[in-house]
Structure 1
Amino acid sequence: MTIEILAGAKALHHIQNKGLQPQDIELMVGASGGPKWLILSRLDQYLAEHFLPKATQSIDLVGSSIGSWRMACYAQKDPLAAFKAFESIYMHQRYETLNPQEITEFVNLVLDTIFDDEQSEFIVTNEKRRLHVVAVRNRFLMNGRSNVSQTLGLLTAATGNLLSSKVVEALYPRVLISQGGSHAPYHERPEIIELGVHNLHGALVASGAIPMALEPIKVAGGKDRWHWDGGMVDYHFAGPFNAQKGLVFYPHFSPKVVPGWFDKAIPWRRAKAKNYENVVMVVPSQKFIDSLPYGKIPDRKDFIKMDDIQRESYWQNVLSATDRLVADFHQKWHKDQFASAVKPIEVIL
């Protein structure tokens, strides 16, 4: 078994009785994770070509960090071409120093290649696939971008997070850069910036601006603050999601849900099953992950632990292996729309 289909209580009942159809999806979610997304690249391509075109209804797309870039690809006129281009350029990124300025140059290259003005115009006006990009911003008294300012803010947030994740949200408010100024993915309205061609690039940069690794940005239409990686509050998304009529479809790179970025070192901080009742997750099995080279999926540490040739070879081997995920997804879906394969999501929460 290479892939697992996991569902919350309501979604589980639906799939066991009716199967999962693309027409059932109301919201799609993309998590933070940097290079981890590569394990989903071929599945994204399959979904873009064979699965989601069958969904004629409008679907909201919400993502943080690399997840927002993936969702922006889904919102393009030709999502398959976007994903293929994204995979190709992402695979071959190389750096001399890994400093924020150098990485920012690569980010701008990706934006210019995959999200030019014509593609951006289609994304921000696409009524069938409505994009919502998650970022966070600094408070006025912490609105600095120096390493000292960043370190102080991160240490304060990490310490406060031991008591409550609300401390992180208080220090770094969630900002949703959203088509039409909508807060559709959330029950409660966060701070909103309306998405447009003029700020799509800025939104995507902000959503992936990992502190101490990338340069922050001020997003047009928002407050005069530095904006940072949305994974700080929505790393893997804790829910509950605002999907009243349909299901939440969540292809994820790992059989593990870590709500916020600062929760990675807190094993007891997990998403609650009651917040995932209408969620369908598609994840690689742990057995599949263990079978990969080095027994893991790609991550940012690969840039430090491997030279470029070794890293690119490893990443290519992972991509080739993930073709098995696509084959397994295809087989399970065509057999009975996952009715016999779906499992309760509690097994990972």
Structure 2
Amino acid sequence: MVNASDHLRVLAGPFARELLRSQGLHAEQISAVAGAAGGPKGLILGPLDQLIFGDWLAASGQSVALIGASIGCWRLAAACAPDPLQKLKAFSQAYIEQDYRIPEGRRRPDPAAVSASFADGLAVFFGDLSQAVLEHPRYRLHVVTARGNGALARAALAKPAVNPLGLSLAFSRAWLANAVSRTALGAHLERVVFSAPGLQSTRASAEVDTAAESSALETGFEAPFAQPVGFAEALFLGDYPTSQVRLDRSNWLDAMQASCSIPMVLDPVWDIKGAPKGPYWDGGLTDYHLRLNYRALEPGLVLYPHFIDRLIPGWLDKPWIWRHRAPAGLNNLVLLCPSKTWIARLPDARLPDRQDFVRFAHDPVARMRRWRVVVQQAELLAEAFERFIRDPGCIRVEPLAGARA
């Protein structure tokens, strides 16, 4: 029998922790699932995703928001497939088998070539799933992107392939602004969320978010369709400009590509249809670990399969440890992450990461082999979670660091 606590940790905000203590965890309690940016680290969540979407959550009946950035939105879009179990397995395989050749004399692959290859891969993987994703009867996919403005937009327009220094300097200025405050980053980047309407959006529903009207008055934003209760409050944090755009057949693959477009690694996606004009990059820039105001979705819980035990607000916040403390907005969050013991048993005792593409640039087969070992080991995380569902006492539910009611 799996010793669940050797592999999986469960952390929760105060509201969620009390609910787990008194009732355990049930699929019917979940109102949202979040998927963080983080590149190859997200591969360890494949077996957990397969359990959650292939069986456990599928047995419930409520509407669930799926909120993702970068690899997180790719995972959650796969979960909307008619056969989520098989599509999620295929996602892991497709991600592992990515191979971007480094031109002779260069340290990294050409961003334009990576972007073109990535776009082709998205089209092949998701091309026949538009209706399944956009009109899922229960799941609403929300794809988080970062739109560049000001100096960043001008630098991106000036052909970075010819003059990469200009874009690097523009991002350096954004980094310095963020070092002062997250609010200051709003002069350089803004959050744009592309939201699928879902099958329910065309029906009259008691779930319409009345808070969206007041949000529109305050921000000038009008929701593109009826929202679940509390969603506007969860999304509009007041940290920097935020827009929400309807995700549809004409823009959803562009939005997915944008959310995965790491600056200087891929080119930005320009002028996505239906959205404010400009360059769009990886959603992790503004919302690395999607630390939103989930408390607005209470009494529902937010389930968060993750690869570390904390939520870093934005990619540029990684050095600022004091920004990693959990705010009150995570009151109803349930976070699942691997234990140190589990990580210690991986190749090199570490999670896979984006630098593996560079480390194994001349031996991609070795990288793929190592990543497959990691995914195989991640089956233990799913087994531990399955046991926790049946027996909540098998894993001690820890408080999120700094979380307060």
- Work out whether 1:112 is the aligned partner of 2:123: yes
Residue 40 of structure 1: how far off its partner (Å): 0.6
- Work out whether 1:165 is the aligned partner of 2:182: yes
Pair member with larger Rg: 2
SS of equivalent residue, structure 2 residue 378: helix
Q: Distance in 1 between matches of 2:366 and 2:117?
A: 20
Q: For structure 2, which runs of at least 5 residues remain unmatched after alignment?
A: 1-5, 103-108, 198-223, 237-241
User: Structure 1 residues 157 and 142, CA, compared in 2 at 3 Å: closer, same or farther?
Assistant: closer
Amino acid paired to 1:326: A
State, as a whole percentage, how many aligned pairs show the same letter: 31
Residue 131 (structure 1) aligned to one of 124, 133, 141:
141
SS of equivalent residue, structure 2 residue 334: strand
- Work out whether 1:100 is the aligned partner of 2:111: yes
Of 177-186 and 92-101, the range deviating more from structure 2: 177-186
- Work out whether 1:51 is the aligned partner of 2:51: no
Residue 101 of structure 1: how far off its partner (Å): 2.2
TM-score normalised to structure 2 length: 0.81
What residue is the counterpart of 1:272 in the other structure?
A: 326
Q: Distance in 2 between matches of 1:53 and 1:108?
A: 30
Amino acid paired to 2:343: I
- Work out whether 1:330 is the aligned partner of 2:382: no
What residue is the counterpart of 1:35 in the other structure?
A: 40
User: Structure 1 residues 332 and 311, CA, compared in 2 at 3 Å: closer, same or farther?
Assistant: same
Of 41-50 and 25-34, the range deviating more from structure 2: 41-50
SS of equivalent residue, structure 1 residue 236: coil
Residue 340 of structure 1: how far off its partner (Å): 5.6
Residue 286 (structure 1) aligned to one of 340, 346, 358:
340
Residue 109 of structure 1: how far off its partner (Å): 3.1
Conserved 8 A contact 2:310-2:401: no
Deviations 1:2-36 (A, max 9, x none): 00111100000011001110110011100000111
What residue is the counterpart of 1:221 in the other structure?
A: 274
Residue 153 (structure 2) aligned to one of 122, 143, 164:
143
TM-score normalised to structure 1 length: 0.93
Residue 222 of structure 1: how far off its partner (Å): 0.9
Of 86-95 and 19-28, the range deviating more from structure 2: 86-95
Of 301-310 and 58-67, the range deviating more from structure 2: 301-310
Q: Distance in 1 between matches of 2:86 and 2:261?
A: 25
User: Structure 1 residues 165 and 140, CA, compared in 2 at 3 Å: closer, same or farther?
Assistant: closer
Q: Distance in 1 between matches of 2:195 and 2:135?
A: 11
Residue 237 of structure 1: how far off its partner (Å): 2.0
Q: CA RMSD in A?
A: 2.0
Deviations 1:71-101 (A, max 9, x none): 1112222211211111111111112112212
Conserved 8 A contact 2:150-2:188: no
Alignment of 1:61-210 (within 5 A): 61-97=66-102, 98-116=109-127, 118-144=128-154, 145=156, 146=160, 147-180=164-197, 181=224, 185-187=231-233, 189=236, 190-210=242-262
Conserved 8 A contact 1:86-1:110: no
SS of equivalent residue, structure 2 residue 255: helix
What residue is the counterpart of 2:314 in the other structure?
A: 260
Deviations 1:103-156 (A, max 9, x none): 22332233122211x411221112400011100112155423223442132111
SS of equivalent residue, structure 2 residue 124: helix
What residue is the counterpart of 1:309 in the other structure?
A: 365
Aligned pair count? 347
Amino acid paired to 2:324: R
Q: Distance in 1 between matches of 2:298 and 2:394?
A: 22
